[in-house]
Structure 1
C-alpha cells in the first residue's frame, strides 16, 4: 500500500478524469497505432510497430501509477481541520519580512501543485517551512537564494 495523499474534491476529480481518459482514449489511440504498424508488413523489421508497443508499455505504466495514487487518495474535510496552524489544504497569507511583499498560497499535495493558481506542494521548501506555523509566527524557508523569512498573517480553510 502506498502513502496516503490528501486532495481537494476538485483535485481528486481531475486525477480520476485523467485516469479514465488514459484508460479509454489513450488505449484506443495506442491500439490504432499498433494495428496500422502491423498492416505495414514484416514485424521483425518494423520500427513503427516497436515504437507503438513501447508507447503501449509506457501508457500502461502511467495508468498503473495513477491507479495507485487514486487508490490512496483521501478528500480532506475542511471542517475537521485545525485553523490555528498551517497544514495541508490551508490557505495562508504570508509577508516577506525583508521587503514587506505579501502573497497567498494554498498548500496541497504534490500532484495538485500549480504555482500559477497559487497552490504549492506541502513537500516543497515553502510548504515545509510553513507547515505547523500559527498566525504571527515567522517561518524560515530554505531557498536557493538563502534563508527567507515570512510572517504568517492569516490562515483559512
Structure 2
C-alpha cells in the first residue's frame, strides 16, 4: 500500500515534531508510571485506574505511529515558492461571501494542519477544492451541507 503524502508548512512540521517528542519523552513515561501504580494496588481485573491507563497507553502509541508515518510522508511547502497568481497550498486567501457580503480570510493547508478555528482549511475541504488554482477575481460555487455558497476571491497572499 502506498502511503498518502502529507502536505505541511514549516510551522505545521514543527508542530507535529513537537507533539511526537512530547508523546515519546513525557506522556509515555507518565502512563507507564500510572500503570505501575495501578498494578501495585493489587487485583487488576477490576481496577479502573489500570484500565484507564492501558487505554491511554494504547491511544498514545497509536498517535505516535500516526505522527511518525505523517512525518515520513511529509511534503514541505516552500513558502518562498508560493505563487500569488493562483490559490495554492500555503496561500492566505480573502474571500467575499456573495450572499451575506462578508469577507473571510483562509489559509490553505494540508489536511494534517487544518484547523477551522484558526481559519486554516484543508486543500481537500469543499472550499479548499473549489478555490485551488483559481486567480483573484474568480467566483466559485461551493456545495456544502446547507446548500451552495458563492465566493469571490479578493486577494491571494503568501
Shift of residue 127, structure 1, vs aligned partner: 0.8
Normalising by the residue count of structure 2, what TM-score does the alignment of the two structures yield? 0.89
- 1:67 and 2:77 matched: no
- Structure 1 pair 94–43 and aligned structure 2 pair: CA distance change class (3 A): closer
- 1:11 and 2:12 matched: yes
- Structure 1 pair 130–50 and aligned structure 2 pair: CA distance change class (3 A): same
CA distance in 1, matches of 2:146, 2:50: 48
Say which SS state the counterpart of residue 112 (structure 1) adopts.
Answer: coil
1:134 is aligned to 135
Backbone CA RMSD of aligned residues: 1.7
> Is the Cα contact below 8 Å between 2:5 and 2:73 reproduced in 1?
yes
Q: What does 1:103-118 correspond to in 2, within 5 Å?
A: 103-118=104-119
Q: Where do 5+ consecutive residues of structure 2 fail to align?
A: none
Q: Where do 5+ consecutive residues of structure 1 fail to align?
A: none
Normalising by the residue count of structure 1, what TM-score does the alignment of the two structures yield? 0.90
Q: What does 1:15-30 correspond to in 2, within 5 Å?
A: 15-30=16-31
